[in-house]
Amino acid sequence: MTSPFESLEEFRETPWMNIFKKESTYNGPEHRLHHEILAYLMYMQQTPDEKRARELVMTEIRRVVHGRFYGAEIRLYGSSATGLCLPTSDIGVAIKLPRITEADVKRTLFQLSSQFRPAALTSNVFVNHHAKVPILILSTREEYGSLNRH
């Protein structure tokens, strides 16, 4: 029995292998795997436009947060901070607010969400104040690129 994909050329190769010449010769499977890993890394690197879009998003987040909470510390974390993010990765941002008590967290998250709603940055804002670490999930507008998790 033959596979339904055998006749489809697009399924015979991975797109990142087009980075190397087709006539490349390899000294065994480990050498080919090494080149395929390098090709995949080059293929998945952020483009200059993707980097610029992420910078624009962070600039807008800083503007909104500092406009409402003077003295707030804003830090990237996760794959965005390490430079290991994929083009479809979300942007992990930690915001530390001065003089905020645990009782104020819910109110503060909703205040922040109300600041992001009219900003040109987001198409959707979701507050999860029940999480162990309360979070605000922002979906960016299409013009900022697809930096949404969902």
Q: Cβ distance 149 to 86 under 8 Å?
A: no
Both structure tokens of 91: 């942007």
How many angstroms separate the first and last alpha carbons of the chain?
A: 38
For every one of its 150 residues, what pLDDT tens digit does the chain have, with 9 covering 90 and above? 555 555 555 555 677 877 776 667 888 889 888 988 988 888 888 888 888 888 888 898 898 889 888 889 999 888 888 888 887 788 888 888 888 887 888 888 888 888 887 777 788 888 888 888 888 888 887 777 655 443
Helix boundaries (H) for 1-88: 29-44, 48-68, 79-82
Single pTM value for the model = 0.71
| Cβ-proximal residues to 125 (8 Å cutoff; 6+ apart), any chain | 113, 116, 117, 136, 137, 138, 139
Pairing of strands 122-128, 135-140: antiparallel
